[in-house]
Structure 1
């Protein structure tokens, strides 16, 4: 079961990084010695014919997968609070996709947990990414070998 200080959301709407940072710094201010935030953005699309990116997910299953990842991180590091937000729907260049925020007593734990959560999310969470061309064609994007390598280093 998640800690009461944790938050997981799969949502279409954008998110406010500052709001999540504020939460992480105020949960247990006397115990929190480090906050690490990662915000992933839609990069410039490599193919000029690509107009947007679309993310789909499996409701219920995706949230359960994200919860499992956070619990695995909590088993490895003494964390105070975790914030995990992932968007779905059609996204444009430079839109925010994902936020992973971790509060811990020490920076090493916060950095490691944030990286672990992101690496596991990229590999294990059921999200599907497609590129949308200017003509409206949808092309599914395969998983990257580099994401698989990042995941393996934690095993």
Structure 2
């Protein structure tokens, strides 16, 4: 991932930034996953959301990307922290490769790994006034 592209950001994310970080002339495919804040979790209406990250979360995210890179496959990812609104972009993963099948597979593997190992926590506030942490085991 380009050093100009922060892994963890407190400002809005632009998926095109990750795409530009991975694209080369050798690529026939760029697959981008963009995760957004939804207005519900299970059967509960979400009204507000905050992401918090461990100080080394960026290192974890960079490691996930590095583990999925090969000579032909490039990977970039970013995750947002702070207060987000419904519809805001929370996470972006971009993968470029010579062929689409590999780009899709790697993109899915990267977002799954991000959710499993990067220490980022989500605090949701619900319409009924209650709130709860999500991803507490990460």
1:11 to partner: Cα distance: 0.5
Segments of 5+ residues of structure 1 without an aligned counterpart are 145-155
Q: Larger % of strand: which?
A: 2
1:6 to partner: Cα distance: 9.2
Q: Is the 8 A contact 1:52 1:132 kept in 2?
A: yes
**Does 1:78 pair with 2:76?**
no
* Larger Rg computed on CA atoms: 1
In the aligned structure 2, how far is the partner of 1:124 from the partner of 1:41? 19
TM-score (norm 2): 0.82
Q: Is the 8 A contact 2:18 2:76 kept in 1?
A: yes
Q: Is the 8 A contact 1:8 1:67 kept in 2?
A: no
TM-score (norm 1): 0.74
Q: Is the 8 A contact 1:6 1:82 kept in 2?
A: no
User: Which segments of structure 1 move beyond 3 Å, counting only runs of 4 or more?
Assistant: 4-8, 18-25, 133-138
Segments of 5+ residues of structure 2 without an aligned counterpart are none
In the aligned structure 2, how far is the partner of 1:135 from the partner of 1:84? 34
Q: Larger % of helix: which?
A: 1
RMSD: 2.6
TM-superposition CA deviations, 1:65-122 (whole Å, max 9, x none): 11211121125x731x322110011111111100000111111221111111100000
